[in-house]
């Protein structure tokens, strides 16, 4: 099946950063993303990327995605996670002062800029006209719920399955994916 040019054009009209800000502000999305990040090692930027594709009826081809996923993970590990760790360390500083609070706020802004850059790189990868049909495909019309779809596209490529977690953790992760799926479905565009 050829890549639907209407879906691809709609994707190009919605920057990933704008989608991420809108989606992240929806009820329950932020805590769900943080649960998946902190307890399953999910890269929230990649999760947002897949959600962006989902609402446009597209998905990334697994073979093409592998190299990009590694490049984005390298960025996250080398830049974003370093800043996040520093920000969290500053939060628990023994004697918080105005200077430490200001420093923590600036590190938080740098972390946000690092995430924005990462999202822009995901977007550029998807928007590449010459490579689009080798990177993206139409999502089947009969695809199952968005929460399950996200699990398959974010966890399975890492070799993770929810069955590998203890019951309480698995329940929290399933709930997080369900919340994200419920919030993605209203954003889904007509095809």
Residue 103 counted as domain residue: no
Residue 31 domain-assigned (yes or no):
yes
Q: Which residue has the higher pLDDT, 130 or 24?
A: 24
User: In this predicted structure, what is the pLDDT of residue 149?
Assistant: 85
What range does the domain containing 148 cover? 5-62+119-187
* Encoded tokens for 189: 């565009």
pLDDT band at 12 (very low <50, low <70, confident <90, very high): very high
Domain count, the chain: 1
82 within some domain: no
Q: What's the chain look like in SS3? A: CCCCHHHHHHHHCCCHHHHHHHHHCCCCHHHHHHHHHHHHCCCHHHHHHHHHHHHCCEEECHHHHHHHHHHHHHHHHHHHHHHHHHHHHHHCCCCCCHHHHHHHHHHHHHHHHHHHHHHHHHHHHHHCCCCHHHHEEECCCCCCCHHHHHHHHHCHHHCCCHHHCCHHHHHHHHHHHHHHHHHHHHHCCCC
User: Do the domain assignments include residue 33?
Assistant: yes
Q: What global pTM score does this model have?
A: 0.88
Residue 61 has pLDDT above 70, yes or no: yes
pLDDT, tens digit (0-9, with 9 covering 90-100), for 107-141: 999 999 999 999 999 999 999 988 888 999 998 77
What per-residue confidence (pLDDT) applies to 45?
A: 95
Looking at residue 139, what is its pLDDT?
87
Tokens describing residue 100? 């430490």
| 48-57, 90-99, 129-138: the lowest-pLDDT one | 90-99
In this model, does residue 160 exceed pLDDT 80?
Answer: no
Residue 141 lies in a domain: yes
- Please give the pLDDT value at position 190: 46
Per-residue confidence (pLDDT) for residue 152, from 0 to 100: 83
Mean pLDDT of the chain: 87
Say if residue 191's pLDDT is above 60: no
């Amino acid at each position: 099946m050829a890549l639907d040019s209407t879906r691809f054009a709609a994707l190009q009209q919605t920057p990933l950063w704008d989608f991420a800000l809108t989606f992240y502000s929806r009820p329950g999305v932020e805590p769900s993303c943080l649960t998946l990040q902190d307890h399953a090692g999910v890269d929230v930027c990649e999760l947002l990327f897949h959600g962006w594709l989902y609402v446009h009826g597209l998905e990334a081809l697994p073979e093409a995605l592998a190299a990009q996923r590694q490049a984005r993970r390298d960025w996250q590990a080398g830049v974003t996670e370093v800043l996040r760790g520093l920000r969290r360390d500053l939060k628990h500083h023994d004697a918080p002062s105005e200077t430490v609070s200001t420093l923590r706020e600036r590190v938080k802004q740098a972390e946000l800029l690092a995430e924005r850059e990462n999202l822009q790189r995901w977007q550029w990868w998807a928007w590449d006209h010459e490579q689009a049909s080798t990177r993206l495909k139409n999502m089947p019309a009969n695809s199952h719920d968005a929460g399950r779809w996200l699990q398959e596209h974010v966890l399975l490529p890492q070799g993770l399955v929810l069955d590998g977690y203890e019951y309480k953790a698995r329940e929290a992760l399933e709930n997080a994916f369900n919340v994200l799926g419920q919030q993605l479905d209203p954003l889904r565009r007509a095809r």
